[in-house]
A and B are shown apart, each in its own frame.
Chain A
Amino acid sequence: MSETEINRRVGTGPAAGDGNAGANAIEVRDLHKRFGRQQVLDGVTLDFPAGKITTIVGPSGSGKTVLLKHLNLLMRPDSGTIAIDRIEVTRLGAGGLDAVREKFGMLFQAGALFDSMSIFDNVAFPLVEKTRLSTREIEERVHETLKAVGLEGMEAKFPSQMSGGMQKRAALARALVRRPKILMLDEPTTGLDPSRTGAIHELIRRTQENFHLTAVMVSHDVPAVFQVSDRVAFLHNGRTHLNGTVAEVMAADDDVFKRFLAGKASGEENETALAG
């Protein structure tokens, strides 16, 4: 199967370029990004259906985190477009970008909790800074959100007093407290032991269902992460190599993806990994 055929959608369902814009929370078209001489994103085209969990996987250096940084508007592409909730964002100014950022929450790889604040203050922070809720309303929302992630009673603790798994939960609570439409997660289980990995995956699924979110996740935790994903996008050499439901992608007869799953790197993948 040629790369062109592989880059087409696999199986049924909303896919890149089929014009079914209403079903997609995020649409990425022909994204390019270069750092110096390294072409990190080389024409990524991808859709993220609303109300689904889409996981981006790929070998190290394939451009996963760079793609996620474009989706959460921390980077601008060299060319290509990104539409979030049908708003084209790549040419927006600072004010426009901030308006779009109100729609999503982000869970960073290490949590990115503010060290000098308690868990309560961390989770309350977006409400205090960006809303006009009263103190009581903020307290109620924070308690409710912490309960949803299983951290009830931990309000007074500081991040340094908590385990890695608990910090991730707190960071997830902060990402959810403003009830975003889109949740982005950067390697949510990295650094956690297998038992906590399963708990975090379960929490992500439960949260996505309870809050009716669109979730975009970057993960190295393959194939465990497929159990919590609705769709998978496999990036290779800065392009969308495979894209579809978990079943479709797993059934695809693709050597590159199989080698990735098996943990064996081809010569091309080794170069990519070293370059990345």
Chain B
Amino acid sequence: MIERLGALVIDGVVRLGAFVIFLLNSAFYVFVPPFKPRLWVRQIRIIGADSLFLIILIGGFTGMVLGLQGYNTLRRFGSDGALGTVVALVLVRELGPVLAALMIAARAGSAMAAELGSMQSTEQIDALTVMAINPVQYLVSPRMLAGVISFPLLTSVFDVVGIYGGYMVGVGLMGAPSGAYFNGIAANMSGHDIMTGLYKALVFGVVVMWVCCYKGYHAERMATGVSRATTEAVVLSSVLILAFDYFLTSILL
């Protein structure tokens, strides 16, 4: 039993090492020629532009719920004038980066894991290697870069749409003071709040791309391999987003 436990620990450490080395390799090859801007643009389109509608939708509804809940809660304390501040701060510092990252992980991350897993199981990745093309540089690094660029931008869109969603419900529907909504945001939101959200989005972008690419790239070459890789990619991404959110919040607060 001790031998088996030891073997498990060793296996776990080896896997963790491979996981980290994969991230370092992927990041390294972003800066190594040959550079393929068309691959970067393609991935930014897939991860970023194609996720825009979903982000707007989720951001809108999130802001609307915050407006509703926020107004009902603040009104008990006679502080409905602070609605704009509350909605904006919660979105910008917390819900914007987290929910945007979770949505992109579910949509683009799962697709990425499935695509790479499918390529692995049909030897397409081996084909790249045999053609003297570094598969990490060709497949993974562009996705990493696209994630770093797309996540903060999409988070910003999420925040803006969410703030307007909160305005529509809180002010338009529930009757919170209109002028106080945006004046409160201007008075109480600092650059640090905005940068906190963007730093989180940046980190989440790296985490989601890293996990989803790793799982897809190392999918087992069998019928269930791709589905297992996709599921594990989304689950692990989600868990790490929330874990990193806590650690980043504790550092940046």
Contacts and interface: CB of A to CB of B under 8 A. Distances in A.
B253 interface: no
Contact of B126 (A97, A108, A125, A129): A108
Contacts of B138: 129
B217 to A, nearest CB: 15
Interface string A215-252: 00000000000000000000000000000000000000
Contact of B131 (A94, A101, A113): A101
A104 B131 CA distance: 8
A102 B131 CA distance: 7
Contacts of B127: 106, 108, 112, 114
Contacts of B129: 73-74, 101
Contact of A114 (B124, B126, B132): B124
Contact of B130 (A99, A106, A125): A106
B120 to A, nearest CB: 11
Contacts of A60: none
Of the four ranges (under 10, 10 to 19, 20 to 34, 35 or more), the interface on chain B belongs to: 10 to 19
B132 A109 contact: no
A65 to B, nearest CB: 11
B123 A108 contact: yes
B124 A129 contact: no
Interface string A87-116: 000000010011101101010111011110
Contact of A74 (B118, B119, B126, B133): B126
Contacts, number: 44
A75 to B, nearest CB: 10
B122 interface: yes
Contacts of A129: 131, 133, 138
Most A CB within 10 A of own CB, among B119, B122, B131, B133: B131
A73 B126 CA distance: 10
Contacts of B133: 129-130
A57 to B, nearest CB: 21
Contact of A98 (B118, B122, B132): B132
B150 to A, nearest CB: 20
Contacts of A130: 131-133
Interface string A164-177: 00000000000000
A208 interface: no
Interface string B221-234: 00000000000000
Contacts of A99: 132
Contacts of A104: 130
Interface string A119-157: 000000110011000000000000000000000000000
Given A108-B123, A112-B123, A114-B124, A72 B130 contact: yes
Contacts of B132: 97-99, 101-102, 130
Contacts of B126: 74, 108, 112
B131 A74 contact: no
Nearest to A126: B131
Interface of A: 72-74, 94, 97-99, 101-102, 104, 106, 108-110, 112-115, 125-126, 129-130
Instruction: Enumerate the 8 nearest inter-chain pairs by beta-carbon distance, A residue then B residue, closest first.
Output: A98-B132, A112-B127, A101-B132, A112-B123, A106-B130, A108-B123, A112-B124, A126-B131
24 contacts: A73-B130, A74-B126, A74-B129, A74-B130, A98-B132, A99-B132, A101-B129, A101-B131, A104-B130, A108-B126, A108-B127, A109-B123, A112-B123, A112-B124, A112-B127, A114-B119, A114-B124, A115-B122, A115-B124, A126-B131, A129-B131, A130-B131, A130-B132, A130-B133
Given A74-B130, A97-B132, A98-B132, 5 more contacts: A74-B126, A101-B130, A108-B126, A115-B122, A126-B131
